[in-house]
Chains A and B, each alone.
Chain A
Amino acid sequence: MALDPDAVGRTYAPPAPYLVGREKIREFADAIGESGAAYRDPAAAAALGHPDVIAPPTFPILLAMPASVAVCADLGIDMAHVVHGDQRFAYTRPVRAGDRLVSVTTVEKVMARAGNEFLSTRTDITTDTGEAVVAVWSRLVVRP
């Protein structure tokens, strides 16, 4: 099964913004064993200059990964064959509680090498008023 090269340039965007909540940030911090106060206590976040609790650095994956899964579904890729290859985040600022986030995912590259296929996507995450928050790149390996 070959990835469709015409997929390059296709974009995907969820129909509604993602509302970032304090409870979800706390749940995510708990799940990674992160006990820091800035992720749980609005006063601690305020002391660092943030309007509300901030999210740990990998939190944006909650928006980006569903987009990658949607791209795979669209390309007919069976997730059982997919392995996460690379991941990158470039932050304008931390994600924080209260953010209403819009994400647009673009297929950047498809390629094949040594029997595997590779799917690279970029997800631009902004607020629903257009403020840049974080850019996310993923490369997935599709094994035979």
Chain B
Amino acid sequence: MTPGTALPAQTYRVTRADLVRYAGASLDFNPIHWSDRRATEVGLPGVIAHGMFTMALAGRAVTTWAGPDAVIEFSVRFARPVVVPDDEEGAEVTVGGTVLTVSDGVAEVDLAVTSGGDKVLSLARARMRL
């Protein structure tokens, strides 16, 4: 890894079933993540993924690149929601990474996280031990 290295993009599929499972595992039962009725009531186009679920997918990419225990710091801003339609395909989230700096065995990576052509996370960064 050197500054400018583009890390191999990772793509993940997200279905309604995944959001149910994540709600159970995380104890976040906010209905905007499982009810179209409740999501549209608050102005969303439909059920959206938990922000922390999207961040977890970005975390999977980071650990794929650096190893399961190498993350030192990880931060994101939630920019746009990941809308997950109620069908068999669901939504796709793609996580790319570009190495910004490498210093003292630590790489800082800028993450590009998109879904349906939208940037869903901004200011997404990770520092990882090499």
A30-B77 in contact given A56-B60, A58-B55, A87-B55 (Cβ < 8 Å):
no
Using a Cβ–Cβ cut-off of 8 Å, how many residues does chain B contribute to the interface with A? 33
| C-alpha spacing A89/B51, complex, angstroms | 14
For B30, give the chain A residue with the smallest CB separation: A79
B57 interface neighbour in A32, A36, A84, A137, Cβ under 8 Å: A32
A80 contacts B26, C-beta separation under 8 Å: no
In the bound complex, residues from chain A placing their C-beta under 8 Å from that of B74 are 57-58, 88-89, 91
B52 interfacial by beta-carbon distance below 8 Å: yes
Partner of A58, one of B30, B42, B52, B78: B52
CB-defined interface of A74-91 with B at 8 Å, one 1/0 digit per residue? Answer: 000001100111111111
Q: Looking at chain A's contact residues, is the secondary structure mostly helix, strand, loop, or mixed?
A: mixed
Shortest beta-carbon distance, A104 to chain B, in Å? 20
Residues of B within 8 A of A66 (CB): 27
Question: For residue B64, which residue of chain A has the nearest CB?
Answer: A36
Contact A87 B63 (CB under 8 A): no
B1-23 CB contacts (< 8 Å) to partner A: 12, 18, 21-22
Q: Known: A28-B25, A28-B26. Is A57-B52 also a contact (CB below 8 A)?
A: no
Q: Which residues of A contact B (CB under 8 A)?
A: 27-28, 30-34, 36, 38-39, 48, 50, 54, 56-58, 61-62, 65-66, 79-80, 83-91, 93-94, 137
Contacts A39-B68, A89-B74 known; list 15 others, CB within 8 Å. Answer: A27-B25, A31-B18, A32-B56, A33-B60, A38-B68, A54-B69, A56-B60, A57-B74, A85-B77, A85-B78, A86-B76, A86-B78, A87-B55, A91-B72, A91-B73
